[in-house]
């Protein structure tokens, strides 16, 4: 078995807060897995997302797919504008 580096599929997303609280935060999805908890209000999938909550911090966290919005306009991520509906 050969060990060959794999280029990760990284996706730019907006991460919504829990419920309707807070403004969306830009993030990068670096991995996916099935959620260990299944119920009627959450997705069957969770994503490992990298965000920068502060200028000097990087945070990796598992986030339910229902809280993620894809970035449709790359310019919005660069300017910090909120995503368009």
For 67-84, write each residue's pLDDT tens digit.
999 887 655 555 555 544
Q: Is this model's pTM higher than 0.75 or not?
A: no
pLDDT at 13 over 90: yes
What are the two backbone dihedrals, phi and then psi, of residue 14, each rounded to the nearest 5 degrees? -105, 135
* In contact, 64 and 19? CB cutoff 8 Å: no
How many CB atoms are closer than 10 A to CB 14? 19
> How many whole angstroms separate alpha carbon 2 and alpha carbon 83?
42
Mean pLDDT over residues 25-51, rounded?
Answer: 88
Question: Structural domains in the chain?
Answer: 11-79 (2.30.30)
For the chain, the 3-state helix, strand and coil shares in percent, each to the nearest 5, are 10, 35, 55
């Amino acid at each position: 078995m050969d060990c060959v580096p794999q280029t990760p599929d990284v996706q730019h997303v907006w991460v919504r807060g829990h419920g309707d609280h807070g403004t969306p935060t830009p993030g990068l999805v670096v991995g996916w897995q099935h959620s260990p908890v299944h119920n009627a209000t959450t997705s069957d999938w969770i994503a490992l997302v990298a965000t920068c909550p502060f200028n000097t911090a990087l945070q990796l966290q598992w986030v339910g797919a229902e809280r993620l919005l894809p970035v449709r306009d790359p310019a919005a991520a660069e300017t910090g504008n909120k995503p368009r509906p």
